[in-house]
Every structure is written in structure tokens, then in C-alpha cells.
Amino acid sequence: MNDKKPGKYVISRGLDQFFIGVSDAYRFTTRFFKELFKPPFYFRETVNQCFEIGLKALPLISVTGFIIGLVFTKQSRPSLEDFGATSWLPSLMGIAILRALGPLVTSLISAGKVGSSIGAELGSMKVTEQIDAMEVSAINPFKYLVVTRVLASLVTIPLLTFYCIVVGLLGSYVNVNMEEATGFIAYFKGAFSSIGFLDIITSLVKSLFFGFTIAIVGCYKGYNATSGTRGVGRAANQAVVLSMFLIFLEEMLIVQVVNWIRYF
């Protein structure tokens, strides 16, 4: 909201708006946690949203997960071949897919598919006054629209991440099997050999963070959409850009923290 005249800015127009945006987003996020525990609870709508989110992202995640598993294995082989260490491939890929590729690929695809559609849907509800219409009929739109979507995303994105990891490992297995004729059991024994409990927990935590980010950013951008159909497009677009940026930031921070725990 550009309320101010030039000359009235605290720092400058851009920076002022940036800090106003940050504080708005912060308030939006804290409102989520406040409303989360207050009745009524829209369980049915949350389940609907789980299906909505899951089914939207599933096809693309299947394809991408498989291809990335396959291609990464293929591309990693030459550098291991130099040392005659291609038998390490399964365990290498196991770590790579579980620790990094699975959560990242899932969340980036979901940011594109799910985040943008939440942004567009809520944005168009906002500009056509459907959100106001809920409010005047004594329905809390924040609970009904935002809380349900964020919860659904918190459930669905970790499940999708797990699914993506499995599909990615299958892709990797197909490549290893073609090149070295490694059997299914042998491959997965190798893949799981160096995966620890901490790795699994880390991936879960990451995917929870990513899922939360995707949904809350989409909802925030949609809820604050302005000025007609252009505003809706902008909300969808900004939802994707901002959530991808935050996902990378979170990835970096979580990896730092986990490394610190690992070697402490």
C-alpha cells in the first residue's frame, strides 16, 4: 500500500516498503499460529486441500524425481570410474537424494505448482471481494482459507518429499542396473548403507519448513493482492519467486545447523 507522499519516507521509498512488507509478513505468520489453536477447526476442508495439493504436484514430481535420480547417477559415474569406485554409486546417490535432491526438487516444484495456484486462487478471491464476503457472513476467512492450506501443505509436502526420494532412487537404480547389472536388493542395500537417522530427520524437518513456506507465502501474497486481474498475476508470480528464495535460504541454514550437530 503506497500511502505516503514523496519526502515523507523514513529511509527511502523502496526500503520503507521493504520493511513494511517484512513486518506485514511477520504479522501474517504469527496470526497463523494464533488462529491455529482456536476453534472452529475445518478438518474436512484441510483434507480436501491435502488432496488438492498432493494431486497437483504428484505427476511432475514423479517425472522429475525419476529423471534427476537417473541423470545424476549417470553424470556422477565418470568421476568414480577414474578411481574404479563405481560400486560406491548407490551409497553416494542414496545420500545425495535423501539429504539434498529429494527435499529441494519436491519443494521447488511445489513452489511452482502449489504456491502459485494458492497465490492466484486467494488473490482472485481477494480482488473479487469473496474474502470480504466470508468475513461479513461471520466466517473467519483466515481460518477457512489460510490455516487449512498451510496445514495441508505441512502434511503433504513431507509425504511428497518421501515419495520423490523413492522415485529418485528408482531412477538411480535403473541407471546402475543398466550399466553394472546390480540387482535391486544389492542396490538398495548400498543406497541405505550410509544413511543415518539424522539424515532422515533432517529431510523431514526440511520438508516441513519448505511446506510451511510454500503455503504461507502463497496465502500471504494472495491475501494481499490488489488492483484487479493484474494483481492476481502478480500475487501468483511473487508467491513463486519469494518462496523459492526462502527455500534456498532455509536449505542453507538447515544444512549449517545439521553439520554443526553432526560434528559436535
Partner 1 sequence: MTEDRKLDQDVMREPVIEIKGLYKSFGDLEVLKGVDFNLQKGQNIAVLGKSGTGKSVLIKIIVGLLKPDRGSVNVLGKEVNQLNAKELDALRLRVGFSFQNSALYDSMNVFQNLSFPLTMNFKKLSKAEVKDEVMDALEAVGLADKAKQMPAGLSGGQRKRIGIARTLILKPEIMLYDEPTSGLDPVTCTEINELIVEMQERYHTSAIVITHDLTCAKTTSQKVAMLIDGSFTKSENFEDLFDIEHPQIKSFYNYNFTK
List residues near partner 1 by CB under 8 A: 1-5, 40, 121, 124-125, 128-130, 132-133, 135-140, 144
Judged by beta carbon, residue 11 or residue 138, the one nearer partner 1 is: 138
Contact present, 61 and 102 (Cβ < 8 Å): no
Nearest CA to 133 out of 121, 141, 145 is that of 141
Grid cell digits, residue 129: 471481494
Supply the minimum distance, in Å, between the C-beta of residue 127 and partner 1.
10
Supply the minimum distance, in Å, between the C-beta of residue 136 and partner 1.
4
Judged by beta carbon, residue 133 or residue 198, the one nearer partner 1 is: 133
Judged by beta carbon, residue 92 or residue 131, the one nearer partner 1 is: 131
Count other Cβ atoms within 10 Å, centred on residue 144.
15
Grid cell digits, residue 69: 535420480
Rg (CA), the chain: 22
- Using alpha carbons only, what angle is made at residue 12 by residues 6 and 14, rounded to the nearest 5 degrees? 100
Judged by beta carbon, residue 81 or residue 132, the one nearer partner 1 is: 132
Contact present, 206 and 250 (Cβ < 8 Å): yes
Supply the minimum distance, in Å, between the C-beta of residue 56 and partner 1.
14
Supply the minimum distance, in Å, between the C-beta of residue 179 and partner 1.
49
Supply the minimum distance, in Å, between the C-beta of residue 153 and partner 1.
18
Supply the minimum distance, in Å, between the C-beta of residue 119 and partner 1.
15
Grid cell digits, residue 55: 494431486
Judged by beta carbon, residue 144 or residue 188, the one nearer partner 1 is: 144
Instruction: Give the helix ranges, DSSP H, for the chain.
Output: 13-36, 43-81, 89-96, 102-110, 116-127, 130-136, 141, 148-180, 184-193, 197-223, 228-262
Judged by beta carbon, residue 3 or residue 82, the one nearer partner 1 is: 3
